[in-house]
Amino acid sequence: MKPIMNEPDFQFDWNDEVVVANDAPEKFGPSKIAAVVGMRVVENELQASAAGFPVGAVLYMIEFSDGSMVELPASFLRRADV
Three-class SS of residue 22? coil
| Residue range(s) defining the domain that contains residue 27 | 17-79
Please report whether residue 50 resides in a domain: yes
For residue 75, what is the domain's CATH number? Answer: 2.40.10
pLDDT of residue 81: 83
- Give dist(CA 26, CA 20) in Å, integer: 10
Task: Report yes or no on 4 lying in a domain.
Answer: no
Q: How many domains does the chain have?
A: 1
Give the sign of the dihedral formed by CA 41, CA 63, CA 52, CA 79: negative
β-sheet with 33-41: strand ranges across: 69-73, 58-64, 33-41, 17-20, 77-79
Does any domain span residue 25? yes
Give yes or no for residue 3 having a pLDDT over 50: no
pLDDT, residue 33, reads 97
- Dist CA 49 CA 27 (whole Å): 18
- Please count the other Cβ atoms lying within 10 Å of the Cβ belonging to residue 60: 22
% residues pLDDT > 90 (the chain): 87
Q: Within a domain: residue 27?
A: yes
Chain segment 24-51, per-residue pLDDT in tens: 999 999 999 999 999 999 999 999 999 9
